[in-house]
Structure 1
């Protein structure tokens, strides 16, 4: 009983091999599967504070498919939380569904025009990277009503209109 199966014989063997775990102080009565309760799994159970313990009376370390699924779900949640935490620390933002915009790709003139349009105050003599960082902070604070923006964009595309033309008093027929 080394935990390996050739596929010809059932590694669980006798019918007394039920799940080796104690779930909330009650021994699990489900049949053991081929997953074993390793040190790594014990660590996950401890970290996630799952109420699972190894029954020391069991002569094997195989767990049932139900507990295998419970532990896998806990591990997946832990990995997602770790990834979310890492990305928050990297970007400084807490909302993961906000697309990242790289203002550094724009020309300095465009960045200055943005700064002037939104009246963003900065100290004089900033280089491109510093200006892009400052404007990025401002850009993230601009509230956007997504439905309105998408509706206006689709309308503009369908009518071949340009918002700048409308501001200058021109209609879409004047621009063609």
Structure 2
């Protein structure tokens, strides 16, 4: 005997399927490395998502689809006194930046550049959430930013311009 009680539990981690039930039906997506923790369970309950853990699953790993869905629900949460509309939607003119798509080293450089105080050992999603919160607080003066951009574009050649000119003249 190998010590495993079921075939699914005996598989390697990347062969398992998501442990969640959505509307009572088991998800068939492959499980990722995210687990269904108490914190995620609390988010699911607060947001009234129709997700439950399958009691027949002998692991707590969820697929990337559900991980992203739950994470997006956490990120949308607004604090009291925020500038969001009454219905909770973000400003449609303000583009949303998905910091989870950035490499961890970029997030760490951002944190270091702005001297953000964090506890040690943050994982990528926690770091991305912290960077996103800070990023939203940076004031942008559009008129000044556009004026400066146009001035720089007219008066200074960038390294990209010189490479482009070399390729065109060849």
Q: TM-score band (shorter)? A: 0.3 to 0.5
In our comparison, the structure showing a higher alpha carbon Rg is 1
Higher relative contact order (CA 8 A, sep 6+): 2
**TM-score normalised per structure 2:** 0.41
**TM-score normalised per structure 1:** 0.39
